[in-house]
Amino acid sequence: MQLSGKEWRQVLEDYRQSHPEVTVLDPPDAIQHLRNRQYMLQAVADMNLSDSYGIVSVPHQLVIKRDALSIPELVNKAGLTLPLVAKPLVADGSAKSHELSLAYEKYSLQNLEPPLVLQEFVNHGGVLFKVYIVGDAIKVVRRFSLPDVGKWELSKDAGIYRFPRVSCAAASADDADLDPTVAELPPRPLLEKLAKELRWRLGLRLFNLDIIREYGTSDHFYVIDINYFPGYGKMPEYEHIFTDFLLSLGQGKYRKKSG
C-alpha cells in the first residue's frame, strides 16, 4: 500500500521518537512548510532586517487557490502592480513547480491555472543570488534571471510569457562581464544575519534562498523563493562543505554522550 505524504511524515516522526539515537537532519513538518508558497516567505516578512548592511523584504504577493476568472478583480483589490510573476502554489521540487509565468496585462491573468501565487515583479538587472545554507556554512553564486521590464514592454499589452525553471536552467553569471552595481554580492554580514535568523525560524539547516537586489539600489534586497535541499551539486566546493557539516553533527552528538 502506498502511503500518502501525511502518513509517510507520521512514519518518520514515529521512528524519530522511538530511535532518539538517530540524527535527523531536518524535521519533516518544517520541510513541509517550505512546500507551500503561501507560507514560504512568511518567516522573512516577519523579520526586521533593516540595518546598516541593507534592507531585506519580500515582494507583495497574492494567493489564488481557484477560479481563474476572478484573478483580475482580486489583483485590483489587493493593489498589486503589474507585471506579476505567477508561480505554482506547491513547491515540491518537481520541474512543474519551478515553472514561471510573467503577466504584463491584467485581463490575461485569467488564463493562468490556479492554485498559484502572484508576486510583484521587481527589476533586478537580470541577476539573482542563490544563497546556499548548509548548517552554519553559507555559499553564494550568481545566476542569470528574468530580464528587467520597462514601460515599452508594458505598453505592448504582451499578455503572458511562460518560462521554464529559470535560475536552474540558466548559466552561471559568476564569470560574466556584468555591471558592478548588479554583480556585487549581498554583504556577507547581512547574509549571515539572515541565515542565522531563518535557521531558527524555519527549524531547518539545509536550504537555499533566491535573492535579488532592486535595480538602481545598492542595499534593497528581496527574498523571492526558499528551496529545501536544493541542487547542492551546483554549489562550489559542495563536497567539502557537506562533509564538514556531517562531521560536525557527529562530533556534536559524541560530545553530548561524553558529557
Binding-site members for ATP are 37, 87, 119-130, 145
Q: Yes or no: say if 83 and 102 are a contact pair by the CB < 8 Å rule.
A: yes
* Cell numbers 527589476: residue: 123
What is the end-to-end Cα distance of the chain in Å, rounded?
44
Bind-site residues for 1D-myo-inositol 1,3,4-trisphosphate:
98, 130, 227, 231
For residues 4 and 7, what is the distance between their CA atoms, to the nearest angstrom?
Answer: 5
Return the percent helix, strand and coil in the chain, to nearest 5.
35, 25, 40
Burial of residue 93 (number of CB atoms within 10 Å: 0-12, 13-18, 19+): middle
220: enclosing H helix or E strand = strand 220-228
18: enclosing H helix or E strand = helix 5-18
In single-letter form, the type of residue at position 72 comes to P
Bind-site residues for Mg(2+):
210, 225, 227
What are the distances in angstroms from CA 138 to CA 112, 170, 192, 196, 237?
Answer: 36, 21, 8, 10, 11
Bind-site residues:
37, 87, 98, 119-130, 145, 210, 225, 227, 231
